[in-house]
Amino acid sequence: MEPDRRNMAVMFTDVAGFTARMEASESDAMRILDTQRSIIEKLLPDSGGRLVKEMGDGMLCVFPGPSGAVKCARGLQSELANGDFSVRIGIHWGEVLLTGEDVFGDTVNVASRLEKMSAPGGILVSGELLSGWGAGRRPKTESLGMVRLRGLGRLVDVHALKGTADRPLETASPLSFEGISRQCAGLSIPSLAVIPLVNLGDGKDRFYCHSITADLVSDLTRAGLIRVIPLAEAARAGDSETGSDAIARALRVRFVARGTLFREAGVFNIAIELFDAEAGRIAWADTWQDDWLELPSIKGKLADGLLKAVGIEPSRFAGMTGSETDKARAYELYLEGWDAYRHRQRASDMERTRRLLEKALELDPELVIARVILGNTCRDAGEYDTAAAIYARSLETAVENGDVPRQVRILLETGTLRLRTSLFREAREVFLKALKLSRSTGDREGECRALNNLGLAEWNMGNYRTSLMRHEASLAIASELSSSYQVASSHCNMGLVRWSMGDDEKALEHYSTALGILISINSLTGQVEVLKNMANVHHRTGAYEKALELSRRCLQITRELGDRPNQCRTLNNIGNVLLHTGRIEEASALYAEALDLARSLQDRFLEGIVLTNTGMMEMAAGRSAEAVARYEAVLSICRTIGDSEGEAVALAQLGEACLADGRAREAVGHLHSALSIMEGIGAEPRKAEVRCWLALAILACGDGVAALPKVLELAGKAEREISRFS
């Protein structure tokens, strides 16, 4: 079937200052979106247009002719003239590709860029759109000249529509003119790939190169005025390409930094060069020697030279060129521990990481970066209270030192801990703080991560629409930063949201996009996450063989990687599919293997997940008493590690098992407790099912007619909740 191509007017709208409104009041932000949508839907029939889709706080519409698009845009701005919020609008005319309900092509991209340059309350249009009118009939505009839209490879004739005396339109703003002047001048943010330092010395010194490069990339990324390729992607390019020019082409960057490190007799020999692909030459190179005592200063010296070489003044960024500590041995232990943590595969690796970091902190208790990773090891092991205390102390030190970038990182780790312990509202507040701080310093990578995590917090609370907006915002920044992994992560998380909304088709689209990206960058760990999620979709839709195929593919990768935690999760997932196809004995064997793995890893969280499914297996086999015992064990684990959501789910399942075992009044108590916890943490989507079980348990207590009002109340609430999340 040939694709449907036709000329159309494409209109993008976007709410100015929406992020700030969202952070101030979510209900107010939702009202704004509803208002924008209702006005556009009212105007579209009269202008012959169609709403294609909503994207965060923006909307994409198409029209068969230019006049209809302009009429709709003017109507929207007129309706909002006296309102409490403004929108930006961009319109372009040209050929689009129609696939189903969606539209694609260069015309769509140009309209999107125009919208972003528009002033709040204004409408920017292209010369191509205006050419659709005859002489003397063209709407009045103010020409902004020929503008080079970055990434499109050509100039676009841009015009701002003028209003009338009684209905004026904004035609200029400092932001739009700044953006136009930058692009007309051909200026762009420098782009850089840092290839891991090559170790020329003893093999055991490899950790110096990997950890120093990792910290260097992290610091350069937060500079904000430079686009830095993620280290994993730079490392892959460095492995597969020989010349700096080839690496620059592969990663689509202007600058490539490569260097070596050689330690001999207590002296470090460092060499670094920066290749400028645009000029086709080495832009900067340096070699020097540092005594072992100067080890903590090497990363700062590299950052200073690289930033200056690309035209950025390092002094603008606090701590960028300084040392994390003046104690060389403490820093060396940190580098070794950081390397061990990144390459961990089993419990013994985690123990080694802790020993190294604890020794580093004994020598320098103020070495915050070491303390944060130590907190991560505790979080990974389910020692949540210890992790929380470590993060709190680390944050206190970072605040005292005025180290805002470090504060952002600690807040992101703290928020992740809150998610793990099901404190979703607290997690959201922590991520909002991280978002605000990252924006204050221009830390785009931190902003991207904060938005992505905010999306996960909203998803856990059942705020699916808000969650999608957060992930879409994160995706936009990830695309801007050319971070393939973060782009894939955003698509994966949007797939989770769509799956929770019951839109399996859309979920699979997002997962397929993410998987394609992860395969292209050879990220096996990322592929594991996506394959697990895709298998869950096929499991729910009854495509059991497809679910098993994807899960087994996932299992093979985890075994190749030595990724025992994900191997455990995948064995558990395969067991779930087998259980639902009636193959209980096979499922039991896989659950037993997964349980052994979880316990060998000392991962109580994973142990609880597997035990939960063994309880479901006992229920499926009609052994309700055994199921009760399993769920009681899960409940004990969740209370020990502080997993509130897990505790609520365990109580709900315990209530269901008690009801099946003839213990109706016990079931009522457990289900009431589950509801109370879910309401406390904001786990809204799960409450409807629990209310239904509670209604059944109350009826089973045999209280007759007296129980009916409560049962009907529960049923009514459950129905409203199901309607909300369906």
Q: What is the structure's pLDDT at 173?
A: 42
Distances (CA, A) of 475 to 29, 112, 224, 603, 696: 20, 15, 17, 31, 44
Look up residue 149 and give its two tokens: 């839209």
Q: What is the structure's pLDDT at 105?
A: 78
- HEC assignment per residue over 383-429: CHHHHHHHHHHHHHHHHHCCCHHHHHHHHHHHHHHHHHCCCHHHHHH
Angle at 673 between CA 669 and CA 676, to 5 degrees: 140
Which stretch of 169-178, 363-372, 423-432, 537-546 has the lowest confidence by average pLDDT? 169-178
Angle at 288 between CA 282 and CA 292, to 5 degrees: 140
Q: E-assigned strands of 67-122?
A: 87-99, 102-104
Residues 324/361, Cβ–Cβ less than 8 Å: no
Where residue 167 falls among pLDDT bands split at 50, 70, 90? Answer: low
Q: What is the structure's pLDDT at 166?
A: 60
Q: What are phi and psi of 559, to 5 degrees?
A: -70, -35
Contacting residues for 383 by C-beta, under 8 A, at least 6 apart: 641
**Residue whose tokens read 């099901």:** 422
> Nearest to residue 259, comparing CAs of 306, 223, 226?
306
- 617 or 691, higher pLDDT: 617
Residues in the chain: 726
> Nearest to residue 109, comparing CAs of 253, 252, 12, 182?
12
Look up residue 124 and give its two tokens: 């920017």
Contacting residues for 570 by C-beta, under 8 A, at least 6 apart: 528, 532, 551, 554, 555, 558
- State the Cα–Cα distance between residues 300 and 215, nearest whole angstrom: 10
Q: What is the structure's pLDDT at 381?
A: 73
- State the Cα–Cα distance between residues 12 and 523, nearest whole angstrom: 34
Beta bridge partner(s), residue 4: 98
- 720 or 606, higher pLDDT: 606
Whether the predicted pLDDT of 176 surpasses 60: no
Longest dimension (CA), the chain: 88
For residues 461-487, give the mean pLDDT. Answer: 84
pLDDT, tens digit (0-9, with 9 covering 90-100), for 639-695 = 887 778 888 889 999 999 999 999 999 999 999 899 888 888 766 667 788 888 888
Which stretch of 258-267, 460-469, 661-670 has the lowest confidence by average pLDDT? 460-469
- State the Cα–Cα distance between residues 613 and 568, nearest whole angstrom: 13
Residues 337/357, Cβ–Cβ less than 8 Å: yes
Q: What are phi and psi of 122, to 5 degrees?
A: -115, 175
Whether the predicted pLDDT of 395 surpasses 70: yes
For residues 106-113, give the mean pLDDT. Answer: 85
Where residue 156 falls among pLDDT bands split at 50, 70, 90? Answer: confident
Number of neighbours of residue 217 by Cβ within 10 angstroms = 23
> Nearest to residue 198, comparing CAs of 280, 273, 259, 141?
259
Whether the predicted pLDDT of 399 surpasses 80: yes
- State the Cα–Cα distance between residues 647 and 564, nearest whole angstrom: 25
Q: What is the structure's pLDDT at 187?
A: 38
Domains and CATH numbers, the chain: 4-184 (3.30.70.1230), 191-323 (3.40.50.10070), 530-602 (1.25.40.10), 635-725 (1.25.40.10)
Q: What is the structure's pLDDT at 112?
A: 87
Whether the predicted pLDDT of 551 surpasses 80: yes
Residues 525/540, Cβ–Cβ less than 8 Å: no
Q: What are phi and psi of 702, to 5 degrees?
A: 80, 30
Q: E-assigned strands of 195-254?
A: 198-199, 227-228
Q: What is the structure's pLDDT at 152?
A: 53
Q: What is the structure's pLDDT at 653?
A: 92
> Nearest to residue 647, comparing CAs of 657, 659, 634?
634
- Which three-class secondary structure state does DSSP give residue 125? strand
HSE-CB for 344 with a 13 A CA cutoff: 23
Which amino acid belongs to residue 571? L
For residues 698-710, give the mean pLDDT. Answer: 80
- 4 or 690, higher pLDDT: 690
b/e for 632-671, b at 16 or more Cβ within 10 A?
Answer: ebbbebbeebbbbbbbbbbbbbbbbbbbbbebbebbbebb
Q: What is the structure's pLDDT at 220?
A: 86
For residues 217-229, give the mean pLDDT. Answer: 78
Share of the chain above pLDDT 70, in %: 91
Residues 643/608, Cβ–Cβ less than 8 Å: yes
- 157 or 722, higher pLDDT: 157
> Nearest to residue 171, comparing CAs of 124, 126, 206?
124
Question: CA quadruple 598, 600, 601, 605: dihedral positive or negative?
Answer: positive
The conformation of residue 205, written as its DSSP 8-state character, comes to: G
- HEC assignment per residue over 453-487: HHHHHHHHCCCHHHHHHHHHHHHHHHHHCCCHHHH
- State the Cα–Cα distance between residues 228 and 307, nearest whole angstrom: 11
- Which three-class secondary structure state does DSSP give residue 599? helix
Q: What is the structure's pLDDT at 1?
A: 45
Beta bridge partner(s), residue 170: 122
> Nearest to residue 270, comparing CAs of 242, 300, 302?
302
Angle at 390 between CA 389 and CA 396, to 5 degrees: 90
DSSP class per residue in 11-32? EEEEETTHHHHHHH-HHHHHHH
> Nearest to residue 64, comparing CAs of 128, 7, 139?
7
Q: What is the structure's pLDDT at 349?
A: 80
pLDDT, tens digit (0-9, with 9 covering 90-100), for 493-523 = 999 999 888 888 889 999 999 999 888 766 7
How far from the centroid of its chain's Cα atoms is residue 607's Cα? Answer: 26
- State the Cα–Cα distance between residues 572 and 722, nearest whole angstrom: 28
Number of neighbours of residue 440 by Cβ within 10 angstroms = 10
Q: What is the structure's pLDDT at 178?
A: 38
- State the Cα–Cα distance between residues 223 and 212, nearest whole angstrom: 17
How many helices and strands (H and E) does the chain possess? Answer: 30, 14
- State the Cα–Cα distance between residues 67 and 620, nearest whole angstrom: 63
> Nearest to residue 6, comparing CAs of 53, 64, 56, 61?
64
Residues 197/209, Cβ–Cβ less than 8 Å: yes
pLDDT, tens digit (0-9, with 9 covering 90-100), for 45-100 = 999 999 998 888 889 999 999 999 999 999 999 998 888 888 999 999 988 888 77
Calculate the average pLDDT of the chain: 85
Contacting residues for 233 by C-beta, under 8 A, at least 6 apart: 193, 251, 483, 484, 485, 521
pLDDT, tens digit (0-9, with 9 covering 90-100), for 123-150 = 999 888 988 776 567 888 888 776 766 5
- State the Cα–Cα distance between residues 277 and 573, nearest whole angstrom: 47
Q: What is the structure's pLDDT at 185?
A: 35
Question: CA quadruple 403, 405, 410, 411: dihedral positive or negative?
Answer: positive
Whether the predicted pLDDT of 181 surpasses 60: no
